[in-house]
Amino acid sequence: MTRVVDTHRQVFGSDPEGVWSAPGRVNLIGEHTDYNDGLVLPIALPQRTDAACSPRADDLLRVWSVQTDELVEVALADVGPGRPEGWAAYVAGVLWALRAAGHEVRGLDVTVDSAVPVGAGLSSSAALECAVGAAASDLFGLGLLADDAGRAALAAGCVRAENEVAGAPTGGMDQSAALLCRVDHALLLDCRSGATEHVPFDLASDGTASGHGTTAGDGSASGSGTESGDGAPSGHVLLVTDTRAEHSLNDGQYGERRSSCEQAAAELGVAALRDVDPKDLDDALARLSDDVLRRRTRHIVTEIARVRACVEALRAGDLAGVGRLFDASHASLRDDYEVSCAELDASVEAARGAGALGARMTGGGFGGSSIALLPAGAVDDAVRATTAAFAERGWREPRCFVVTAGVAAGRDA
């Protein structure tokens, strides 16, 4: 946070009015279900994007990024689909969407600094949108952070920014996670009704798990866990592996999956694939016109059922059950939805080989990150095995880090 304030002062010549931040996310389970009106179960990451902001009296937006050392200036009247391009679209798009929703929003000077790795499938773009959206809400007196209804409305604006200005046809999970998640809880979000439940995910408190330290890019992990009598860490942790196989959500593949789901729903005469009851799945599959649509539909219907089962397993403290659901989700995403890749599969296999209860890709796929539910004492082995597997294949060294469920977007200073 000091860095974003210092940089803001250097770039814009005065202190920011405040600093806001929003988290990246990992989705525990429920992948590609958000745009099928389904269920998702993300947690907010400890890694956040900071936005130091000062309001302007005119309608100019000036944004500096610490990561790219670049200043982008745009008049709010010039923001629209495809304008500006690149990372600044996620910032400008949010102000554009708030204005489109009827809010009085003026220009801003913004400095952004992100600890959420870009291209890692951990929602760096939603973190950026939501940090700026939170700032705009406070600075222009919109009051959207005051309650969950306001936060959901802000999330919807951030989704518009991403879909319409940045041109990525994503669903709404990531922005909802960044704005609605609670510490030590996973967010069960019904993407049709908007209903939420906060499901305890404090692996440290129930004696079954503890996630703490993070790793640097050196591949070492410092999941501390609780200490058992013999000094070895006990409990379980959630390990994220950023495969560094870069993924993108606006290269056509993501949009293609979304269109297939819409086509399948149309052929079945339902509003969304969420409406297919798992017990009627075989019958629904038999009515679809081709095998690709059948496999996409099977993934969505079974994945939504896995979210429900995962929530039950978490509430019952059945981590072995959670692990089995992670494994089944990964297989479905790899074989039926076809959004995994060799690096994600290898990271999942390596974690399992090191004793994970279960592991799966998380996020949109085609690269990005995987998650593994591991006994705390197995973290170092999992990191070593993953790093070795990647080195053997000549891939870039993965980045592994243990995470806990963090807090939603808000004002920091």
Interface residues with ligand GAF (CB under 6 A)? 27, 31-32, 34-35, 123, 170-171, 173-174, 249, 363-364
Tell me, what amino acid is at 45?
L
Q: How far, in Å, CA of 294 to CA of 120, rounded?
A: 29
Active site residue 174: yes
Shortest CB 169 distance to ligand GAF, Å: 9
Evaluate whether 294 touches 344 at the Cβ level (below 8 Å). Answer: no
Q: Enter the tokens of residue 324.
A: 């089995």
Select 152 or 379, whichever has its Cβ closest to ligand GAF.
152
**Residue 405 Cβ vs ligand GAF, minimum distance, rounded to whole Å:** 17
Nearer to ligand GAF, 35 or 64 (CB): 35
Shortest reach from residue 158's CB to ligand GAF, in Å: 11
* Least distance from ligand GAF to the Cβ atom of residue 127, Å: 12
State which residue, 176 or 210, has the beta carbon closest to ligand GAF.
176
Comparison of 219 and 364: residue with beta carbon closer to ligand GAF: 364
Nearest in space to 258 (alpha carbons), one of 361, 170, 160: 170
DSSP run (H or E) holding 389: helix 379-392
Token pair 């009598």 in the structure block, residue: 229
In the bound state with ligand GAF, the residue whose beta carbon lies nearer, of 209 and 307, is 307
Burial class (CB within 10 angstroms; exposed 0-12, middle 13-18, buried 19+) of 382: buried
Measure the CA–CA gap between 212 and 207, rounded to whole angstroms. Answer: 14
The least distance separating ligand GAF from the CB of residue 2, rounded to whole angstroms, comes to: 30
Q: Tokens 């379980």 label which residue?
A: 236
Question: What residues have CB less than 8 Å from 295, skipping those under 6 apart?
Answer: 335, 336, 337, 338
Question: Given the structure tokens 């996670």, which residue do they identify?
Answer: 177
d(CA 376, CA 293): 40
List 174, 327, 336, 381, catalytic entry:
174
Distance CA(63)–CA(12), nearest Å, equals 10
Q: What residues are labeled active site?
A: 174
